[in-house]
Amino acid sequence: LIKKGYVFHSDTDTEVLLNFIEDIQKNNNCPLEEAVRIALKRIVGAYVIVLIDNENPETLIAARKGSPLVIGIGKNEHFLASDASPIIEYTKEVVYVNDYEIAIIKPDELILKNLGNERQTPFITKLDMELAAIEKGGYDHFMLKEIFEQPQTIFDCLRGRLDADAGTITMSGIEKYADEIIAANRIVMVACGTSWHAGLVAEYIFEELCRINVEVEYASEFRYRNPVINKGDVIIAISQSGETADTLVAIENAKQKGAIILGVVNVVGSSIARASHAGAYTHAGPEIGVASTKAFTAQLAVLTMIALKIGYKKGTLNHDRYLQLLKELDAIPDKVASILQSTEAIQAIAEKYKDAPSSLFLGRGYNFPVALEGALKLKEISYIHAEGYPAAEMKHGPIALVDESLPVVFIATRDSFHEKVISNMQEIKARKGKIIAVINEGDEQSLSLADDVMVVPEADEIMAPMLSVIPMQLWAYYTGLAKGLDVDKPRNLAKSVTVE
């Protein structure tokens, strides 16, 4: 294009595409829509574009591949966005554009075509989202609102599915593939960030209850590593937004190799949800804060229900334990609510350590992924360096970091690893590290060792992460607040990473 005399003012591929389309239109003397179609057949990579036709300024042309595009259907008006949230105040009727589709949009007409210029029928989805769900509702920040919504969002996630009295879990999307999951040689959890941490918790739960080999993969590694995928493998894609590019491509690749794809997704109608064979929505409602909080606990609730259902059907989970765990899960929303009744102690601890240059988060077993999540939350909200580790790993190097300036957070709720965690705490104490511990009521051993404690209710160790993560979320929030940072929109971060 440069050789043809086109001048570029930026390094963005958007500018290149625009000039490419213009060049095609000139050479072929064709309407803009046709030029766009020709261009899109020849470019490589993910895109979402909207063009205004200079000749027909009442016409928009939009298209997508790999990145999300939603069209709101108004009265003599249309709206385009990458997510339904900004549209909801204008209309509840939306069309999710699919990959390789082009939308020609006039105020009173929406035409969808594929790249072969064949008309496609727009499928109109009615949103069940309320405007209030994307407003702060009296909280100072979306992140705080979403942390405090968790008793309700976990309850919403269980509602209509878990019946602890009847001893049933109803999940039609999973039931359709229950036999394949039971027969699977392995389950691969594919996700990024916080959702990847949910996958780690699920690994322990599925292996414990279903006795199926589980692997947890970073989507960005999984998609490029040319992984061995056998027909019948089950991939569980975990994603709040349902638009994370790496996760989406990872499951598309796996699907082509014959794997069964189950989606555990929050945003209804999102790309990952639509790319999955089946799955279960987390029903946490719109999560606006960049840091994922309520989506994480909802992911854990869904994954726990799937594992309970499959383990019981497979026979690796006996009836009594199954009923007991159903009751434990049913009680989680109230237990989360009890933690949120008084957060002053957590706020005080966060403020006490807000100037520490770095922090370590340690846990074992089901609480090891919570340590990782606590470190991620602190990093992304307060910009303090933090690392999560299996507590036993300290001896393999990281303990060299420990001195009186280093806060070490132990996720130390009572479980089958508790005694080991206590001895790890003693190792830190002996080196004058500052110990902050998430514990259960009356844990005298931890109380004797820790400088500060955050107390959560007891629960079966399988359910503990849904409780022990709450102080971690609040710790990050109050630390970011104390440092005067934008806790809803931290620097350098996007809510949904729709590009590589």
Distance of CA 305 to the CA centre of its chain: 17
Burial class (CB in 10 A: 0-12, 13-18, 19+), 146: buried
C-alpha to C-alpha distances, 355 to 377, 378, 486, nearest whole angstrom: 16, 12, 17
How crowded is residue 419: how many other Cβ atoms within 10 Å of its Cβ? 10
Which residues face 80 on adjacent strands? 71
When the beta carbons of 30 and 268 are compared against ligand AGP, the nearer one is 268
Minimum separation from the CB atom of position 247 to ligand AGP (A): 5
When the beta carbons of 46 and 331 are compared against ligand AGP, the nearer one is 46
Minimum separation from the CB atom of position 368 to ligand AGP (A): 17
Angle at 449 between CA 444 and CA 451, to 5 degrees: 110
Minimum separation from the CB atom of position 385 to ligand AGP (A): 16
d(CA 150, CA 108): 41
When the beta carbons of 292 and 479 are compared against ligand AGP, the nearer one is 292
When the beta carbons of 25 and 244 are compared against ligand AGP, the nearer one is 244
Contacts of 450 (CB under 8 A, 6+ apart): 410, 425, 435, 436, 437, 439
d(CA 88, CA 215): 38
Beta carbons of 203 and 213 less than 8 angstroms apart? no
When the beta carbons of 66 and 193 are compared against ligand AGP, the nearer one is 193
When the beta carbons of 239 and 343 are compared against ligand AGP, the nearer one is 239
Minimum separation from the CB atom of position 146 to ligand AGP (A): 11
Minimum separation from the CB atom of position 266 to ligand AGP (A): 7
When the beta carbons of 210 and 372 are compared against ligand AGP, the nearer one is 372
Q: Which residue reads 């919570």 in tokens?
A: 370
Beta carbons of 450 and 425 less than 8 angstroms apart? yes
Query: What secondary structure does DSSP assign to 104-136, as a single string?
Result: EEETTEEEEEETTS-EE---EEEP---GGGGS-
When the beta carbons of 244 and 276 are compared against ligand AGP, the nearer one is 244
Residue of minimal CB distance from ligand AGP? 193
Burial class (CB in 10 A: 0-12, 13-18, 19+), 254: buried
When the beta carbons of 433 and 471 are compared against ligand AGP, the nearer one is 471
When the beta carbons of 21 and 476 are compared against ligand AGP, the nearer one is 476
Query: Do you know the residue count of the chain?
Result: 500
Minimum separation from the CB atom of position 379 to ligand AGP (A): 10
Minimum separation from the CB atom of position 325 to ligand AGP (A): 25
Contacts of 340 (CB under 8 A, 6+ apart): 147, 148, 150, 151, 470
Minimum separation from the CB atom of position 418 to ligand AGP (A): 28
Decide: helix, strand or coil at residue 161: coil
Binding site for ligand AGP (CB under 6 A): 192-195, 239-241, 244, 247, 290-292, 380, 496-497
Closest to 189 (Cα-Cα) out of 205, 169, 177, 176: 205
Minimum separation from the CB atom of position 286 to ligand AGP (A): 12
When the beta carbons of 59 and 293 are compared against ligand AGP, the nearer one is 293
Minimum separation from the CB atom of position 37 to ligand AGP (A): 31
Minimum separation from the CB atom of position 500 to ligand AGP (A): 12
Q: Would you put residue 317 in left (φ > 0), alpha (ψ -120 to 50) or beta? A: beta
